[in-house]
Structure formats: structure tokens, C-alpha cells
Amino acid sequence: MESHSTIIGIIISLIVLIPLILIQTSQKSKKKKSIKSFIDEAQKNNLKINEPDFWGTYYAIALDETTNKLIYTKIIDEEHNITIIDLSQVDTCDIVKTTRTFKNKTTSKIETDKIDLVVTFKTKIKNVLEFYNVDVNFEMSNEIALLEKWDAKIKNRLVRKAQAA
């Protein structure tokens, strides 16, 4: 009787653990594939990147210091949406947060929906680089630290009119 209980316990454990292991393996594989794809895309565009940042399974960003170009990608349904920005053409860079407020009788709660890095060119055209979206990632991890890091990096690389004169 005791051996039957042990066997049933092992079978139930395997039924629970095997799908979790398969999901974990699949996510690691997707992340490796997206990193390789990002690096290949940078090379296709003749960008020599160092210190790229990857977060979630959907986002990547890097800088080619020689050409002063930024490469950013967001993966949507296996499609890599790539943005390459020539920082010599950028005027400003700003962090933009989109939030929602939930109120009930006694409290109110503010939730972040999106956090973007908005790059404005000298021509006033804007590029929005998404760093967090509640519809993509349910939980925020290190996105704010990465956002602040890249905001500072971009601002340090901007070519100002005062410097050029």
C-alpha cells in the first residue's frame, strides 16, 4: 500500500514538473534566439555594438559608439521590429510614463501601463522606444533602471548646437 502511494506521488510530481521544465526551456531558447537575431541585425546594418541590454523576451537595445547610432528592437509575434537612430540627428530624449489610477471608497492606486523613451529629432519627428508595457510584461523588473541608463547614455551622445559652434 505504501509503495502505491509513493508511486502515485512521483507520478503527480512529474505531471506538474514536466510542463514547467518544458516552458522554462522554451523561454530560454526563445531568448537565446532573439539575442542572436539582434546581434545579427546589428551586423547587417554595419553596427559594431558593445554592452547591449536585453530585457523580457521582447526587447533589446545597444549603441555603436563609432557611428553614434542606436539600435533598438521589440519582438512581436516572432517579428523583430528594428529601429536604428542616428544620434547626431536627435534633439532631445525624454522618459514618458503612462499610468492609470484606480479608486475605491477608501484608497486609490496608481498603476503603470507603459514606460517609453521618446526620442525627438531635430526635424521634430519623434520615435518612441518602448521599455515596458503592461500588455506585454505583467510585472516590471529592471526596466526603470535600464530606461534611466539609456536616457543618460543618449543624452551624453547628443550633438548640441552650442558644442558645434
Give me the torsion for CA of 152, 153, 159, 162, rounded to 10°: 30
pLDDT per residue as tens, the chain (165 positions): 578 888 888 888 888 888 888 888 877 877 788 788 888 889 999 999 888 998 877 789 999 999 999 999 988 777 778 999 999 999 999 999 988 888 887 888 888 889 999 999 999 999 999 998 888 777 778 888 999 999 999 999 886 544 544
The domain limits of the chain are 2-164
Residue-wise burial string across 54-65, b where 16 or more C-beta atoms lie within 10 A, e elsewhere:
bbbebbbbbbbe
pLDDT tens for each residue of 95-121:
999 888 888 878 888 888 899 999 999
Give the per-residue pLDDT at 164: 46
**How are strands ordered across the β-sheet holding 69-76?**
50-55, 59-64, 69-76, 79-86
